[in-house]
Structure formats: structure tokens, C-alpha cells
Copies of this chain bind each other. A is one copy, B any other.
């Protein structure tokens, strides 16, 4: 008899018990290595399990011992109409998610992902759905208004990855201010650029606001001419960055010596638009990013940017959440350090370039 016939629906622990000739309690004990079953019992159970290909039901398990071993992660994605063009926007979020995943593995947790469209109204419905299936959840930036976060946090262990923490919820973020200050200082002090612009991200993003503020404070304090405002309004996407540059150029504006972009995507778009007009980077205009997305080092010229420890960000978010889930307490605002990554788009020359210019 090849396959032991499996009559009604999926296997249960009762099927295994019957086959092994023991009780369901014994099966459970062997499966969870609790107690000290007799060697013969253990063997019979294990044999039955493998012969049957039994996989215990996670839902029943979770219901019974109050732990799902699942962490929910919710984030925004481009609207699903365009399959192709949103590729770029994956990167930042995905790297964070990978960090969450790695940390979760260490505790035997799995990660339940759920994305929400940018214009999706019922984000909170989706979030509730995930919350019900997980022991705790991690919310990427701009998922929910502050009030909603606070409310939800009173029901479910909750970590946000926002620019600014919200009352009641735990939060993990990067030190935007320090990174921006270092970047601006490099451009103005080290390179001597006298006019600088901030090509902003979405206005509703706390990260963007923090960066914009730090940018302006630092640039002004060093006496540089600062370009900001509605004509410099991007939206975190490459298309947005390119559009700003095109708009400025079409209006006949003179560009500043350096353009500080809200993130790497925006810088990518800006550099693309500049190249199309024949404007040299960094020779005519310096461009910088923020995030240090993987592609940043492959751009031409390689992008000077501020690295956020993205994977660590995710890992830390999980660790904080896990601590809350298992012990009931967790840090409410963790700030991770960032690092200025100097490549060539700011005007610094790589060793190779320098050598070529110097002859030999």
C-alpha cells in the first residue's frame, strides 16, 4: 500500500496519535520536546509523523498557547496600476524588512507582510487584519495618523519606524539631524559651495521635515545661500526629482552649486534630468542623496549620501517589539546613528579619477 489513505481533510494530531498507538498528549509532547517520553514512545510518534507528513496547525497552536510567533509588518507601496515603474521604490523598505526578517528568525518568528497602496483609504482595516494575525506589528513611516497609532498601540504591541515618535507606541529611527548636518558641512566647509538647495521629499513625512529643518539650520549657520520652497518640492521618487529639475530649468532658473536631495531616489532622478540637459555632475552642480540605497554606488558619478543602517533599523525594530511581547516592556524611542558616505557626486574625486587626472 503506497499511500496510507487520508480520508477527511487535513491531518490532525489525532491521526498521528492513532497511527502511533499513543494519545494526543504524547504526540504533542514529542513534537514540543516537553516532558520525558519513553524512547519507544518518542520513536513511534516520530515515525508516524514522518510517514504521514504531518504538519501541526499553527492556528490551533497559537490559540492554545497564546503565541503566534508572527510579527506583522505594514508598509506603503506604489499604486498597483503600474507594475514596472515602481521598481525603484522597493529598495529602501525591502532592506528594512530584510533586517526584520533576520532578527525574527533568531526568535523563531516569521514575518507577515502587508502592503497598502498610497491612496488606499482603508489602511487601518488592513492594519487591523494584520494585527489580528500577529503577536505585534511594525509600521513603516506614514501608515497612520498619530492618533490612530496611539489607539492601536493600546491594543497591540506596536513599533513605528517614523521620523518622530508617537505617544504610546514604541519607535525606532535614524539620526536624520546629525546626518544632514555632516552632509551640509561637507558641502559648504570642505567644498566651499556658497549656494545650496534642498530638494525635498513628501511634506507629510516626518523624516523629510527633520531633514529639511536640519539642512536649513546648518546651511544658514554657515552663511550659505539657501534655496528651498515650493519649486523644490519633490516626493521621494526619481520622477519627482527629475520633474523639479526640469521645471527649474524650463523656467530659466539658475541652479545652485549643490543640490541636497531628500533621498537617493530623488537624487537619481535629479541626476538623470541634469544629464539630459548636458549639465555635469559634480562639475557644474553637486548632487547628494540620503539613505545609501544599494544602487547609489553604481550611479555615475557614484552618489555621495548619508547611510542609514537600514537593515539594523529593521532588526532593532523587531528586537524592541519582541522584548515588549515577551516581557511587557520595551524602549519607546530608539535612535540609530547614521554615517556620511563620501563618493564622487559631491565633487570629491575617487582615487581612480584623481590618478587619471594627475596623469599616471
Interface residues of A (CB under 8 A from B): 3, 9-11, 53-63, 66, 68-70, 72, 77, 80, 83, 87-88, 90-91, 94-95, 97-98, 101-102, 105, 108, 110-115, 128-134, 151-152, 154-156, 268, 294-295, 298-300, 311-312
CA distance in complex: A108, B151 (Å): 24
A94 to chain B, nearest CB (A): 5
Closest B residue to A154 by CB, please name it: B53
CA distance in complex: A111, B80 (Å): 17
Report yes or no: B132 in contact with A58, Cβ–Cβ below 8 A.
yes
Report yes or no: A112 in contact with B115, Cβ–Cβ below 8 A.
no
Report yes or no: B98 in contact with A77, Cβ–Cβ below 8 A.
yes
CA distance in complex: A88, B297 (Å): 11
Report yes or no: A95 in contact with B105, Cβ–Cβ below 8 A.
no
Q: List 14 A-B contacts (CB under 8 A).
A: A53-B151, A58-B68, A58-B133, A58-B134, A59-B59, A59-B60, A77-B102, A80-B102, A87-B294, A105-B114, A108-B129, A110-B114, A111-B112, A112-B113
Closest B residue to A75 by CB, please name it: B101
Given contacts A59-B60, A59-B62, 12 further A-B contacts (CB under 8 A): A3-B154, A58-B59, A59-B133, A72-B110, A90-B98, A94-B94, A98-B115, A101-B114, A102-B115, A110-B112, A113-B113, A295-B298
Chain B residues lying within 8 Å of A108, measured Cβ to Cβ, are 129
5 nearest A-B pairs in the assembled complex, by CB-CB distance: A58-B133, A59-B62, A87-B294, A58-B132, A53-B155
CA distance in complex: A1, B66 (Å): 30
CA distance in complex: A91, B91 (Å): 8
CA distance in complex: A63, B63 (Å): 8
CA distance in complex: A62, B63 (Å): 9
CA distance in complex: A88, B95 (Å): 10
B9, B83, B111, B155: which contacts A113 (Cβ < 8 A)? B111
Chain B residues lying within 8 Å of A114, measured Cβ to Cβ, are 101, 105, 110-111
CA distance in complex: A53, B105 (Å): 30
Report yes or no: A110 in contact with B88, Cβ–Cβ below 8 A.
no
Report yes or no: B156 in contact with A55, Cβ–Cβ below 8 A.
yes
Chain B residues lying within 8 Å of A101, measured Cβ to Cβ, are 77, 113-115
CA distance in complex: A61, B129 (Å): 11
Chain B residues lying within 8 Å of A95, measured Cβ to Cβ, are 87, 90
Chain B residues lying within 8 Å of A133, measured Cβ to Cβ, are 58-59, 68-70, 110
CA distance in complex: A62, B61 (Å): 11
CA distance in complex: A60, B90 (Å): 33
A350 to chain B, nearest CB (A): 12
Report yes or no: A56 in contact with B90, Cβ–Cβ below 8 A.
no
Chain B residues lying within 8 Å of A311, measured Cβ to Cβ, are 83
Report yes or no: A90 in contact with B80, Cβ–Cβ below 8 A.
no
Question: A83-B311, A294-B87 are contacts. A112–B70 as well, Cβ < 8 Å?
Answer: yes
B61, B105, B152, B300: which contacts A115 (Cβ < 8 A)? B105
Chain B residues lying within 8 Å of A132, measured Cβ to Cβ, are 55-58, 61
Report yes or no: A55 in contact with B112, Cβ–Cβ below 8 A.
no
A55 to chain B, nearest CB (A): 5
Chain B residues lying within 8 Å of A295, measured Cβ to Cβ, are 294-295, 298
Closest B residue to A11 by CB, please name it: B155
Q: Which of A95, A110, A134 is packed against the most chain B CB atoms within 10 Å?
A: A110
CA distance in complex: A120, B105 (Å): 12
